[in-house]
Amino acid sequence: MDQTQIDALRAEPVRAFGHLIDGQHLGASDGGTMDVISPIDGTVLTTVAAGTQSDMEAAISSARTAFEDGRWSGQPPAARKKVLLKWADLIEAHALELAVLGVRDNGTEIAMALKAEPGSAAGTIRYYAEALDKVYGEIAPTADDVLGLIHKEPVGVVGAIIPWNFPLMIGAWKLGPALAMGNSVVVKPSETASLSLMRMCELALEAGLPPGVLNAVTGEGAVVGQAMGLSMDVDVLVFTGSGATGRRLMEYAARSNMKRVYLELGGKSPNIIFADAPNLDEAAKVAAAGIFRNAGQVCVAGSRLLVERSIHDEFVSAVAKATDAMRVGDPLRVDTQIGAVNSQTQLDANLGFVETATNEGGQIITGGNRILQETGGYYMAPTIVTGVRPDATLAQKEVFGPILGVTPFNSEEEAITLANSTVYGLAGAAWTSNLSRAHRMVRGVRTGVMHINTYGGADGTVPLGGVGQSGNGSDKSLHALEKYINLKTAWIKL
């Protein structure tokens, strides 16, 4: 990764982005435009179209027409594979451009963004391209005079609402399997991070994806997101984001065509440190990275640190030391380890959580404040709060910022109880040298992903999905394909 190349891309003006509907780039309609504020310095980077209900309806209509006429759904698997593989190649070829554009838009540190965004997206698209012609129907074990067949068909039109923290990575988790199975898709990017995802959708057209198969509409969730949720012509809706929005989308589905809704709603993930952890120094460094990378704006972030009481003070000191060594700053510098908070609104919410934590008896060990304010950007010092009670706000509510709450425990049973004491269940971790304990923790902690002696890094071969109020359904792995197919039984009398 060359800093000179990054600086050159950073200096380029960013064009305004409109919608992508039926293969055409459309400018702002009656909704006008929205300013794109860069969290790096608080300046206006460019504009995107502020979509209207009519814009979303046009995109959905285009997707429906494309699906029904079979321009993609009727293509043989080998043809779909060829296009998706070319798309993955184009994403890789434009990786630095996409990464820099995304960082200017959402503030993720470039060293992380290059791998986690275009790198991950290309790998995901390629994974599902290679998988799509390995999906077979089934023959049922019926009587001799009957042939029972189970067909796997695309669902039709998929609506995908993508968050701002990793728009390319999470976008590919939805787009890859949906398109691989022959569906048409309408994407709604986050209003605070639309640019790189819109550019990636353009590359899909360059790769040969037929017009109308992939459409993208920018704008406010309360307008175009609602229009998507209430549409009678969207068959499946997939979303990653907040629980409040997820609830609204389920309500919209009930009020419209009862479309299937798959939600990944974040979490309050426990990172559990036992005294017999194989390497406490390594665990401390990983714990710091597990919450503070991307300024804590990670769905699976290990935001609750549960530490066995006998090593509590020692371990917290080690985490604080590792945290102090992490460089916060300009996310387009290759040596930056913690970038900017996505927006002023998110920064204000983070600081509000710190104030609440101290009011509820927590002690700030490090951080707790806005920094680098002279840049005009949205930066926050990584923050560690000890003495967090299990019922405290910081232990129960998802922050989505660089704030780590620490709670001690006395026994394995108490650790499991604490880990399961929230409404969430997305990810978790346990650090121990005891193999039996490790397996008990995997079984005992209610979560979709459970790490042992590590945190993060699970690749596309395994599913990511939550339990409880962390959502339903799974992204990643072959299991994600199940969201985008219908099963049809053929019962044939012989």
CA distance 387 to 316: 11
Backbone angles phi, psi at 30, to 5 degrees: -65, -20
395-449, pLDDT tens digit by residue? 999 999 999 999 999 999 999 999 999 999 999 999 999 999 999 999 999 999 9
Residue 320 lies in a domain: yes
252 and 330, same domain (yes or no): no
What's the pLDDT at 187? 98
316 and 187, same domain (yes or no): no
Residue 137 lies in a domain: yes
Residue 464 lies in a domain: no
What's the pLDDT at 359? 98
Q: What is the 3-state secondary structure (H, E, C) of 183-222?
A: CEEEEECECCECHHHHHHHHHHHHCCCCCCCEEECCCCHH
Residue 384 lies in a domain: yes
316 and 205, same domain (yes or no): no
Residue 466 lies in a domain: no
What's the pLDDT at 29? 77
Residue 1 in this model has a pLDDT that exceeds 80? no
SS3 308: strand
156 and 250, same domain (yes or no): yes
375 and 407, same domain (yes or no): yes
Q: How far is CA 26 from the centre of its chain?
A: 27
336 and 436, same domain (yes or no): yes
483 and 373, same domain (yes or no): no
Q: How confident is the model at residue 457 (pLDDT cuts 50, 70, 90)?
A: confident
136 and 276, same domain (yes or no): no
Which H or E run contains 414? helix 412-419
Residue 191 in this model has a pLDDT that exceeds 90? yes
Domain of 347, CATH number, reads: 3.40.309.10
134 and 19, same domain (yes or no): yes
477 and 343, same domain (yes or no): no
173 and 45, same domain (yes or no): yes
Domain of 50, CATH number, reads: 3.40.605.10
Q: Which of 142, 145, 171 is nearest to 159 (CA)?
A: 171
Residue 442's domain comprises 270-459
- Check: CB of residue 479 under 8 Å from CB of residue 433: no
SS3 171: helix
Joined tokens for residue 475? 């992204």
Choose, from 109, 264, 308, 412, the residue flagged as catalytic.
264
Mean pLDDT across 144-167 = 98
Q: How confident is the model at residue 143 (pLDDT cuts 50, 70, 90)?
A: very high
109-119, pLDDT tens digit by residue? 999 999 999 99
What's the pLDDT at 31? 82
360-387, pLDDT tens digit by residue? 999 999 999 999 999 999 999 999 999 9
Residue 195 in this model has a pLDDT that exceeds 80? yes
What's the pLDDT at 373? 97
Q: What is the DSSP letter of 278?
A: S
Backbone angles phi, psi at 87, to 5 degrees: -60, -45
Count: domains in the chain: 2
* Alpha-helical runs (H) found in 239-378: 243-255, 280-292, 312-324, 344-359
Residue 465 lies in a domain: no
Cα angle 412, 414, 415 (rounded to 5 degrees) comes to 65
| Mean confidence (pLDDT) of the chain | 97
Backbone angles phi, psi at 288, to 5 degrees: -65, -45
Residue 257 lies in a domain: yes
* Amino acid in the structure at residue 367: G
Burial of 352-382, coded b for 16+ CB within 10 Å and e otherwise, reads: ebbeebeebebebbbbbeeebeeeebbbbbb
Residue 77 lies in a domain: yes
12 and 161, same domain (yes or no): yes
Annotation says 264 is catalytic: yes
